[in-house]
Amino acid sequence: MRIIAFGDIHMSLGNFAKIPDISSADLIILTGDLTNYGSRHDAREVLNQVLAVNPHVLAQVGNLDEFEINDYLDALNMNIHGQARLFRRGVCLMGCGGSNPTPFNTPTEFSEKELGRTLDQAYLQARNYIELAEPLERHQIPLILVSHTPPLDTALDLLPDGSHVGSLAVRSFIERSQPPLCLTGHIHEAKGSDQIGETLILNPGMISNGGWIEIVIENKGKLKATIQ
């Protein structure tokens, strides 16, 4: 299974369609910030461009998306914010969109307590999906956390002035649950990778700057993920 992930679109997809073999990827994940303070009309414009290249898309809101986009994604059956998806019985994804509070009062921000509840809700659903699998398959279904806001005190939540602005709730969840992979974004200038315990965390930066992630899931749930 091959998955392509990117985010921080802000109405500009750049040359995303030139990502190698994107049309044949099994799944496209949009990690958040489809728009700039945009409505469902703006989100539809972005999604239609992606769907024209590959129809297999899951997505969530970022902090710069109006929350009505969350309901629009629900209506399209492609939302992962606050929920989990078992995809082709080969990978389980769970999402946490928006962000922790920022100085800019952006449209979709949550308190750390709210983020924690969202993560717990999605994780419970993910665990239920995995438990329903055949006993020999359960340990072969990797869990991917898609969190628009990065975990606190990592290389991926670091501003140029040295401030860490990520989420404590996201970090606490990762420390406690240890999913193999966390996809994040939000802090454009903090493109790169980091690790919390066994969890690999990747921030590809803005798609308009060419940043995306390739995830390959091989036999028995072995997962490899790299920023391209």
Domain coverage including residue 25: 2-227
Kindly state the average pLDDT of the residues 91-116.
98
Kindly state the average pLDDT of the residues 162-177.
98
pLDDT at 220: 80
Identify the bridge partners of residue 94 per DSSP, sorted by sequence position.
Answer: 84, 145
State phi, psi for 144 to the nearest 5 degrees: -115, 125
pLDDT at 136: 60
Residues 110-165: pLDDT tens digits?
999 999 999 999 999 999 998 887 766 778 899 999 999 999 999 999 999 999 99
Which amino acid, 86? Answer: L
Domains of the chain: total = 1
Report the predicted TM-score, pTM, of the whole model to 2 decimal places: 0.97
Q: If phi over 0 gives left and psi between -120 and 50 gives alpha, with beta otherwise, what is residue 89?
A: left
pLDDT at 137: 75
Write the CATH number for 187.
Answer: 3.60.21.10
Q: Is 139 helix (H, G, I), strand (E, B) or coil?
A: helix
